[in-house]
Structure 1
Amino acid sequence: MGEAHGGARVFRLPVGRHGYAVEFSPYFPAGLACAAAQNYGIAGCGVLLVLEQSEAGVRLIASFDWNDGLFDVTWSETNEHVLLTCSGDGSLQLWDTAKPGGPLQIYKEHTQEVYSVDWSQTRGEQLVVSGSWDQTAKLWDPAVGQSLCTFRGHEGVIYSTVWSPHIPGCFASASGDQTLRVWDVKMPGSKIVIPAHQAEILTCDWCKYDEKLLVTGAVDCSLKGWDLRNVRQPVFDLYGHTYAIRRVKFSPFHGTILASCSYDFTVRFWDFAKPSPLLETIEHHSEFTCGLDLSLHTPGQVADCAWDETVKIYTPSCLTAPV
């Protein structure tokens, strides 16, 4: 059971399990999933935890073990009980919270760690995209036992693959080769290649209010915004983190607000439309902060997780005031 602490609800992961990713349920305002790995993801097992918030705190609904570290998690957009994780052994795992035990399906085609997995949110699609250290992204229909397509072009590790919330069949990927790429599942090669940073890019996300706007976060400690209509220069640069940015998420409720978490242990909130864009810095972890999500149901609510074996759910003050 998690406890409220300093304004945040805290859930303590099993001892020796370090948080890599969190995602709010698209169905239940109180639901949350966390993917974690043993030994900081270097070796050992992984665990998927499905959590539920209540007035008393955060409680565990279901727990699933895997024999390798879990690095990302995504909820099904068609079944409230189904989630997909990805792991260090090159596989994806499909889980059903109503069916305890092992995964319903295992998809193993990647030849190295799978660091990112995302379920399409556009209507009429039942598609998943994964990104791997083997430098490929793969397209999946969870009802089919093998990938539908493999996307090649990156010349480094793929750290992040994220579907466009607006454009069917379109996803973005961020890589250690210092590029952000945009793909159409009907085409084998990337539609757009952006040399976005002079450093490894660990994360990217799409704006929920502007289908042409993406953000990248990199080892150079910066966030950059990209308008796909003109990619020669970023439309914004955000500086403040002191170590690599691990994950970035646009707000589902504000068109110009985003959040980022970093190996500097902090989560920062930004409004790129303001002259002083840094709105707030949250310092409540004691290790690398790797997982971050913003609730689709509860305006202003944020969840994050870190290598300090905790998940924290909270509402930063900058998201409670009118903007």
Structure 2
Amino acid sequence: MLEYRTQGYNGYSVKYSPFFDSRIAVAASANFGLVGNGRLYVLGLTPNGIVAEKWFDTQDSLFDTAWSEVHENQLLTAGGDGSVKLFDITLADFPVQSWQEHAREVFSVQWNLVAKDTFLSSSWDGTVRIWNPNANASLTTLPTHSCTYSAAFSPHSPSTVSCVSSDSHLRIFDLRTPASASNHLTLSIPIHTPPKPRMGVPASVGIPPSEALTHDWNKYRDTIVATAGVDRVIRTFDIRAPNAGPIAVLPGHEYAVRRISWSPHLSDILLSASYDMTCRVWTDGSAMGAGTVKQDNMLEDPIVFGGGRQMGSMGMHTEFVTGVDWCLFGAEGWCASTGWDERVLVWDCKAIMQ
């Protein structure tokens, strides 16, 4: 396990470069993001450990970062002052572009993985905005009418956008549809709908809606999305059956789940980062085959559903874990995590999987 200390700054997000397996970026904030500056770190993984190749200081907190999909030296930041900034690590200490349209904190940014000329941001102001790095203003605004913690482009479609928010809904937008009164909204799935019973296994007990903080698209199954948040439970949904409820329910974290990420290597594996100071690796049960449901733990715990299970836990952080990401290169399993303990850890999740 490799470690880097973000002295004086509490980590919020960590992302591997899509171009280099030895470069990661970390968005961090002073004073836990409550007040003060932010810092964007660009870290290199070397034979002598993790070294800082570059960093940028910002006037307000940073909550997320995303690498450009077209320029190996550029990356975005999500700011507590409502700004979205684009930095170039080969240039001076100032952003090469800055946008200031959001009225509240920006909590997520992501580059379009398919049509690589656009990116998005989501904010506490109840909107998701679509941008082009060469334009001075946003291209599209998608209203959610609730604090939106996480937004993403589908990795399978350049025009499909998803988000989760404080009203406990997973929303799917299709930018190809007419804007009209729906503002491109095609699906709004209530996350806390209990799953329908199947194969003699009772449905999950009802849980009051709570804020959804994170979600991610499966990299291999283009209709599968995972969500998680304040209620500590990871759920997976098939957007082809929006009224069917979750297809897998994965409890286990002791506090809110702050970040989840599907593996870029294996279709059934995902990572989570939680306020309980752990990162955990899970299988959603889909690798057991279509129609197969593992019933042992379901009958013992009525909240378990879908045959998934926790495969391991990493507990080396000493504060809230707020970011986790997979390395896209090499042997599957390498990942990075960051948290409020001012630490970035790079580790192999295969070492904890059982």
Fold shared, TM-score > 0.5 on shorter chain: yes
Query: Which of 7, 16, 34 is residue 14 of structure 1 equivalent to?
Result: 7
Match of 2:130 in 1: 139
- 2: distance between equivalents of 1:264 and 1:183? 32
Letter in 2 for 1:281: S
Q: CA deviation at 1:319?
A: 7.4
Are 2:121 and 1:130 aligned?
A: yes
* Residue 278 to residue 240, structure 1, CA distance change in 2 (3 Å): same
**1:302-317 mapped onto 2 (5 Å cutoff):** 302-317=335-350
Q: How high is the TM-score relative to the length of structure 2?
A: 0.86
Larger Rg: 2
- 2: distance between equivalents of 1:36 and 1:18? 5
Match of 2:191 in 1: 196
Secondary structure at 2:270's aligned position in 1? strand
Query: Which of 60, 64, 67 is residue 59 of structure 2 equivalent to?
Result: 67
Q: CA deviation at 1:101?
A: 1.2
Query: Which of 211, 215, 226 is residue 215 of structure 1 equivalent to?
Result: 226
**1:144-155 mapped onto 2 (5 Å cutoff):** 144-152=135-143, 154-155=144-145
Higher strand share: 1
Match of 1:49 in 2: 41
Contact 1:279 1:318 in 2 (8 A): no
Q: How high is the TM-score relative to the length of structure 1?
A: 0.94
Letter in 2 for 1:13: T
Contact 1:222 1:237 in 2 (8 A): yes
Letter in 2 for 1:317: K
Q: CA deviation at 1:320?
A: 7.7
Are 2:110 and 1:77 aligned?
A: no
Secondary structure at 2:32's aligned position in 1? helix
Match of 1:226 in 2: 237
Query: Which of 295, 302, 324 is residue 292 of structure 1 equivalent to?
Result: 324
Secondary structure at 2:185's aligned position in 1? coil
Secondary structure at 1:191's aligned position in 2? strand
Contact 1:300 1:320 in 2 (8 A): no
Match of 2:259 in 1: 247
- 2: distance between equivalents of 1:185 and 1:11? 40
Contact 2:313 2:352 in 1 (8 A): no
Query: Which of 173, 176, 198 is residue 186 of structure 1 equivalent to?
Result: 176
Q: CA deviation at 1:318?
A: 5.2
The alignment of Structure 1 onto Structure 2 pairs a total of residues equal to 311
Match of 1:261 in 2: 273
- 1: distance between equivalents of 2:16 and 2:352? 17
Match of 1:5 in 2: none
Letter in 1 for 2:15: E
Secondary structure at 1:155's aligned position in 2? coil
Letter in 2 for 1:201: A
- 2: distance between equivalents of 1:146 and 1:27? 28
Letter in 2 for 1:312: L
- 2: distance between equivalents of 1:90 and 1:264? 28
Letter in 2 for 1:109: E
Letter in 1 for 2:141: T
- 2: distance between equivalents of 1:184 and 1:103? 31
Task: Structure 2: state its 5+ residue gaps.
Answer: 178-182, 193-208, 289-293, 295-307
